[in-house]
Amino acid sequence: MARDEQLKERWNKVVLQLSEQFADGDTLDLDSIIYLVGIQELGQLTRKFKKDEKVNLMHIAICRLLEPYGYYKFDFFDDDGWPHYTTVEELPNLKAGEQSVLMKEAIVSYFLEKEYIA
C-alpha cells in the first residue's frame, strides 16, 4: 500500500474512533483532535478549561506531536502539572495542505504509539 494511502486509512480510523468516543458520532476536525491530544497530555481529563487554557492545550499537543520530528523537546512540568517544551528547530514554512499532512501524520503516529489504533 502506498504511504499516502496508508496515512489516509489510518487517519480515517483515528477520526472515526475519536468521533464515536468523544463527539457522539459527529466527525471531529483536525483542531478538535489536536485539542483532545492536549487534554490527554495534560492528564486533567475531567476539568473545564478557560479559553486561554484551550489555546495552551493545543500548543501542548502540537509540541508533543512534533517532538518525534525534532522540532520540540520536552523540558519540564510546572507546579500546576502543565508540560513545557523547548523549540529545538524552527518549523519550516509549509503551505496549508503540507501543514495538514504533517499534523495528520504526527497524530496517526501518536495514536499508533498509544496503541489506540493498530
pLDDT in tens, 66-86: 999 999 999 999 999 999 999
pLDDT at 38: 97
Output the average pLDDT for the chain: 94
23 burial type by CB count under 10 A (0-12 exposed, 13-18 middle, 19+ buried): middle
pLDDT digits (tens, 9 = 90+) for 25-55: 799 999 999 999 999 999 988 889 999 999 9
| Residue 74 to residue 12: CA distance in whole angstroms | 28
The domain limits of the chain are 3-113
- Per-residue confidence (pLDDT) for residue 63, from 0 to 100: 98
Cell numbers for 106 = 504526527
User: Which residues 6+ apart lie within 8 Å of 82 measured at CB?
Assistant: 42, 56, 60
What is the pLDDT, as a whole number, of residue 45?
A: 83
